[in-house]
Amino acid sequence: MPTVSMTVNGKEVSAEVETRTLLVQFLRDHIGLTGTHVGCDTSQCGACVVHVDGKALKSCTRLAVQCEGASVTTIEGLAANGALHPMQQAFHENHGLQCGFCTPGMIMSAVDMVERLGNKLDEKTIRQELEGNICRCTGYHNIVKSIAAGAEAMK
């Protein structure tokens, strides 16, 4: 079995994995970061979104071996020094979650959205950009509000 090494949330990690091990399995089962969720396992729901070398992608649709040497950020890597990331804080304040299952993927997608498109995000843009993230609880309304507020707060 190959050994895969990468940087996750600033820390060097490595583990021996099968070639078919998915990035999300590597994160959850091999290094114990269970914040990244598996909602569908069929590349549709976005609960598993993480950032790899600055790109937001679905970690259930990426092999761990493809990420050799990469720099990965997960939901656990956003809060700094015990303070929530502005996007996490915005979800908290705007009641942007109910059960919370989709939330890690929503927040990782939201942060990527701001990094690509800037701090002023209108409702239409946010809704379009959320096409790959499914939430079964909220009806999206407060998620959209949270992202607009979080984007402003990230300035």
Ligand X SMILES: Cc1cc2nc3c(=O)[nH]c(=O)nc-3n(C[C@H](O)[C@H](O)[C@H](O)COP(=O)(O)OP(=O)(O)OC[C@H]3O[C@@H](n4cnc5c(N)ncnc54)[C@H](O)[C@@H]3O)c2cc1C
Residues that bind ligand X (CB under 6 A): 43-44
User: Closest Cα partner for 114 from 154, 71, 54, 74?
Assistant: 154
Minimum distance from CB of 112 to ligand FES (Å)? Answer: 14
Restricted to residues 34-63, the positions that interact with ligand FES (CB under 6 A) are: 38-41, 43-48, 58, 60
Q: Cβ(118)–Cβ(100) under 8 Å? A: no
Single out the segment in contact with ligand FES by CB under 6 A; choices: 111-119, 121-129, 132-140, 147-155. 132-140
Residue ranges with strand state E in 20-127: 49-52, 55-58, 71-73
CA-only gyration radius of the chain, Å: 15
SS3 state at 38: coil
Nearer to ligand X (CB atom), residue 9 or residue 109: 109
Smaller CB separation from ligand X, 7 or 44: 44
Half-sphere exposure of 141 (CA within 13 A, CB side): 1
- Least distance to another protein, CB of residue 85, Å: 19
Binding site for ligand FES (CB under 6 A): 38-41, 43-48, 58, 60, 97-102, 135-138
